[in-house]
Amino acid sequence: KSIKDLGDLKGKRVVIRCDFNVPLDGDTITDDGRIKAALPTLDELREAGARVVVLAHLGRPKGEVNPKYSLAPVAKRLGELLGTEVKLAGDVVGPSAQETAAALADGEVALMENVRYEKGEESKDEAERIELAKKYAELGDVYVSEGFGVVHRKQASVYDIAKLLPSAAGLLVKKEGDVFSKVLSDPERPFVVVLGGAKVADKLAVIDNLLKLADTVIIGGGMAYTFLKAQGHEVGSSLLDEANVETCKGYLEQAKAAGKQLLLPVDVRIAKGMDFDAKTVDGAVTVVKSDAIPADQGGLDIGPETEKLFADTIKAAKTVVWNGPMGVFEIEELSNGTKAVAKALTEVDGLSVVGGGDSAAAVREFGHADSDFGHVSTGGGASLEYLEGKELPGLTVLEGKN
Ligand code: 3PG
């Protein structure tokens, strides 16, 4: 159901769950993409004369009130972007939330404090979640699900509340769902998937599903070294997930048997090490073939030959989905690979999708606009679980399946 199916919203209180889990540097929001992505729905609700009660989380305060995770910076930024004051309640469902929600006039927006201050929000105990969801439901007449980044979480403000109030998907959840479902069910080919990031273990289920659906799977970033090891190469001090070398070997064989391309780096940028916090590299960054990494050095980015190989493959595709960096892009010297992939995605003559909160923040940091891509997802874990082919509770509940 869409917002239109909720009927005349004038004077009605709409509880809307957004994903405003934005990166912060102190009190400063360093990437407000997730807030901007919810604006069309919030504007539509305001124009309809709704009284908008926003639920959101920030970080993982684990059921404890902790000012470090207050949504105050989000309320301020949201107000600036909407061009109107957004009041922040002092609690989630307590007296302040109830008063703030009750005091809303038509077209006004208020934000409740971090839903994860409440133990029930993430509880595994359904009864505890429902008890909290009932309190959320008392803040409004209808529910709109707009936090695509959290639809993989079976949590009170995402899942349980949708069973208690007339519910609909917001424009962002609808758009994200449409893009990912098109990619998985009816992609224009060639369909290329680019995966990166540090941990291969986080991406195994995605690789498994996408090896079946895509024509080419490109693997870079820290996770590539476990694949290089599986090919029989030594990887020096690069990130290596010994426990998954055999699994990666299996994927290489599976790809070969199915006539799919599984592309790995052919050269890499290496160094003795790096200090992530200080953003410095130990010694010089050099380029070697990926089968010639010395024992005392580790791969920290893909090399120039690989950049070209990956970029050419991406540019020749009709559908591209990218999740995860090619190297330690936060350090300038190690950002070339990730930049090359981001740029190649802007040149795709077809649908290019940037998945993942971190990848989205990275492309913006590199100076690209969201409009340079077919779609920049607001979902990190959620988009990965979608690509794994999993059912996402926050979506299925809207379809009345649960
Ligand atoms: C995200 O940042 O991916 C979402 O906001 C979900 O956050 P979580 O992984 O803490 O549930």
Q: What mean pLDDT do residues 382-392 have? A: 95
Annotation marks residue 135 as catalytic: no
Report the alpha-carbon angle 138-144-148, nearest 5. Answer: 125
Which residues have CB under 6 Å of ligand 1? Answer: 19, 21, 60, 149-150, 153, 357, 380-381
User: In the predicted model, is pLDDT for residue 276 greater than 70?
Assistant: yes
User: In the predicted model, is pLDDT for residue 128 greater than 70?
Assistant: yes
Tell me what pLDDT residue 387 has: 95
Domains of the chain, each with CATH number or no CATH: 3-173 (3.40.50.1260), 180-387 (3.40.50.1260)
Probe ligand 1: pick from 18, 20, 21, 159, max atoms within 8 Å of CB? 21
Q: Could you tell me which residues are annotated as the binding site for (2R)-3-phosphoglycerate?
A: 34, 116, 153
Tell me what pLDDT residue 121 has: 98
Nearest CA to ligand 1 atom 7: 150
Tell me what pLDDT residue 400 has: 86
User: In the predicted model, is pLDDT for residue 357 greater than 80?
Assistant: no
How far, CA to CA in Å, does 302 sit from each of 14, 43, 242, 305, 307?
A: 47, 42, 21, 8, 7
Three-class SS state of 220 = coil
Q: Could you tell me which residues are annotated as the binding site?
A: 19-21, 34, 57-60, 116, 153, 203, 299, 330, 356-359
What is the Cα–Cα distance from 194 to 206, expressed in whole angstroms?
A: 11
Q: How far is the CA of 60 from the centre of ligand 1 (A)?
A: 8
- From the list 90, 107, 273, 381, the catalytic residue is 381
Closest by Cα among 118, 108, 61, 58 to 87:
108
* Both structure tokens of 246: 């055999």
Q: How far is the CA of 108 from the centre of ligand 1 (A)?
A: 27
What is the Cα–Cα distance from 337 to 329, expressed in whole angstroms?
A: 8
- For residue 153, the ligand 1 atom closest to its alpha carbon is 11
- From the list 76, 134, 199, 308, the catalytic residue is 199
Q: What mean pLDDT do residues 334-347 have? A: 98
- From the list 12, 34, 129, 174, the catalytic residue is 34
CB-facing half-sphere around the CA of 358: CA atoms within 13 A: 15
Annotation marks residue 26 as catalytic: no
Exposed, middle or buried by CB within 10 Å (0-12, 13-18, 19+), for 190?
A: middle
CA dihedral defined by 107, 110, 34, 364, rounded to 10 degrees? 90
Tell me what pLDDT residue 402 has: 58
User: In the predicted model, is pLDDT for residue 150 greater than 70?
Assistant: yes
DSSP structure class, residue 154: -
From its phi and psi, is residue 124 left (phi > 0), alpha (psi between -120 and 50) or beta? alpha
User: In the predicted model, is pLDDT for residue 361 greater than 90?
Assistant: no
Tell me what pLDDT residue 185 has: 94
Average pLDDT, rounded, for the chain: 96
What is the Cα–Cα distance from 69 to 49, expressed in whole angstroms?
A: 31
What ipTM was estimated for this complex?
0.99
List, for residues 305-314, the tens digit of each pLDDT value: 999 999 999 9
Annotation marks residue 34 as catalytic: yes
Exposed, middle or buried by CB within 10 Å (0-12, 13-18, 19+), for 151?
A: buried
Q: What mean pLDDT do residues 189-206 have? A: 95
| pTM for the model | 0.93
Q: What mean pLDDT do residues 58-65 have? A: 97
Annotation marks residue 199 as catalytic: yes
- From the list 147, 222, 357, 379, the catalytic residue is 357
